[in-house]
Amino acid sequence: MFTNLVLFTLLTLPSTATIPITPKNTSGIAGEWNLLHDNLGISPMHMQLLHNDKIVMFDRTDFGPSNVTLPFNRCRYDPFDPVIQKDCTAHSILYDLQTDTYRPLSIQTDTWCSSGAVLSDGTMVQTGGFNDGDHTVRTMDPCDDETCDWVEYHGYLSERRWYSTDQILPDGRIIIIGGRQQSNYEFYPSSSPDYFIPSLNTSSFWLDFLRGGTVNEAITENNLYPFVHLLPDGNLFIFANIRSVVFDYKQNHVVKRLPPIPGDDPRNYPSSGSSVLLPLDENGPIDPEVIICGGAPRDGSRVRSFARAIPTCGRIKVTSEDPNWEIETMPIARTMGDMVILPNGEVIIINGAGSGTAGWGNARDPVTRPVIYHPDGPPNTRFSVMQSTSRPRLYNSVAILVTDGRVLVAGSNPNPFYNFTNVEFPSELSLEAFLPPYLAKEYDPLRPEILSIDVEVIEYRKPLMLMFTVLKFLKLSRVTVRIIAPSFTTHSLGMNQRMVVLKEDKNVSIVGDLFMKTYSIGVFGPSTAEIAPPGYYLLYLVHAGIPSTGLWVKVE
């Protein structure tokens, strides 16, 4: 009946990123913590969100018996396991976000300090581990019933992969880089590397950069879990110790060496800083930036020296002509923090310790307050300190973003086995959620809700339209549509984590029906598979710095 009253207005929006996306007054809001489960049965040190809102979590098979029994009288037998030769408990669970329940999954070989990624069809792939699991690849197909479980391919990997890093590639394969005493990389699936690599004929390829031994390269220590980010030009950013390179894995060629991060303090494992590729914004020339925060000082990497953690972050424009590290100081020094990209493009730094380093009993002074980094804010105003939790999350803790914008936090076990008695920091079995300030009730009027999307899949460069509603539309704020690839997180590193801000379709702009409070926005699919490799992403619509809940989309 109101159709003749409907008022279609073409709202002119500022074209680029100049409007701050954070609400100005966040003084009274420092986020909120919720305890979701006191006892998950395991102490997750690896986590991955799947596109059906289930989370794969696992620890390791040589922790001793967990608190969850394997179904169907299953057991794992390993006569060579130094800790437990027969174990009828689970070390992996599948957690359902919608029902807040979980069930055990079966792993037969050791997943300790392993790596993972999700293929473009949504299949989770986990690579390597320790002992009997160091050459194993395990896959998990998402399912909505109780049938899916790990499938293991023993001896698949050509090298031992313990502490290696996985990155999904534009062609849909996974590159598996490094690991303890492995200055090389290989692919999953391994069968099809049709790249021409002169003078190499093997399924694993040298990466001298990781070999170290010379001052100019990453040295053998602190070359584990290298920070790897896929760049928009198709090359890889690889960081180990204090050095980083832009690497062409197709030609096995270092394209560029970046200056060492200032301070001579190593940043990746075991020093255990964290790193993300900052959001790639398609509404302008893409200038990829990497940020690395925290870690333990070089002489603090020694066992039980409890040196104060590194208080700085280094940020670099990787492909600029003369790249340089911009150093910023965090409000709280931190090692073993997790950096998670939030739906509004900010980055949370959560978990970790104020002194010490990775390893058993090696850290103290748990940092229980997360900090949020605002990448677009003016220098010296980019950090906000959040509420504290009561639970320490030290070595082997994890954090991931979930669909509704919460950050889930689990794990922490700085002991060689599950240990709840006579230790300073008992094994942590609980699952907590941190609610960033944008989830506060007072922002509800600004919170957009996605009503519909007009495509089944998001195709590269193709236009798409989203309908959304919001109670209080702020005409001058920027509305953006962003996609996030969920990370495989372990040891302070969110592998494959990336955000792309989709290009706005200026011809559509925002068409709003102010009366019905419904609006539509047009954007384009990502430009290339190098910017966003094919697969499942969480799509968020962000209005005035406040994100909608995430919508699962497939990019292909």
Ligand X SMILES: *[C@@H]1O[C@H](CO)[C@@H](O)[C@H](O)[C@H]1NC(C)=O
Q: Give the separation between CA 324 and CA 349, rounded to whole angstroms.
A: 23
Radius of gyration of the chain (CA): 23
Q: Which residue lies nearer to ligand X by CB, 293 or 521?
A: 521
Query: Is the separation of the CB atoms in 121 and 113 below 8 Å?
Result: no
CB of 74 to ligand X, least distance (A): 13
Q: Which residue is nearest to ligand X (CB)?
A: 28
Closest CA to 478 of 283, 285, 314: 283
Residue where the block lists tokens 């020093």 = 271
- Which residues contact ligand X by CB under 6 A? 25, 27-28, 67, 69, 201, 417, 419, 422-423, 507
Q: Which residue lies nearer to ligand X by CB, 69 or 527?
A: 69
CB of 507 to ligand X, least distance (A): 4
CB of 199 to ligand X, least distance (A): 9
Q: Give the separation between CA 245 and CA 290, rounded to whole angstroms.
A: 12
Give backbone dihedrals phi and psi of 150, rounded to 5 degrees, phi first: -65, 140
Query: Is the separation of the CB atoms in 331 and 371 below 8 Å?
Result: yes
CB of 38 to ligand X, least distance (A): 10
Q: Which residue lies nearer to ligand X by CB, 10 or 423?
A: 423
Closest CA to 267 of 313, 236, 216, 305: 313
Q: Which residue lies nearer to ligand X by CB, 27 or 192?
A: 27
Closest CA to 228 of 280, 150, 175, 271: 175
CB of 545 to ligand X, least distance (A): 15
CB of 315 to ligand X, least distance (A): 29
Q: Give the separation between CA 292 and CA 277, rounded to whole angstroms.
A: 9
Q: Give the separation between CA 135 and CA 180, rounded to whole angstroms.
A: 13
Q: Which residue lies nearer to ligand X by CB, 67 or 549?
A: 67
CB of 461 to ligand X, least distance (A): 10
Q: Which residue lies nearer to ligand X by CB, 197 or 286?
A: 197
Alpha helices in 107-264 (DSSP H): 208-211
Q: Which residue lies nearer to ligand X by CB, 105 or 339?
A: 105
Q: Which residue lies nearer to ligand X by CB, 98 or 199?
A: 199
Give backbone dihedrals phi and psi of 109, rounded to 5 degrees, phi first: -130, 165
Query: Is the separation of the CB atoms in 533 and 170 below 8 Å?
Result: yes
Closest CA to 178 of 251, 258, 241: 241
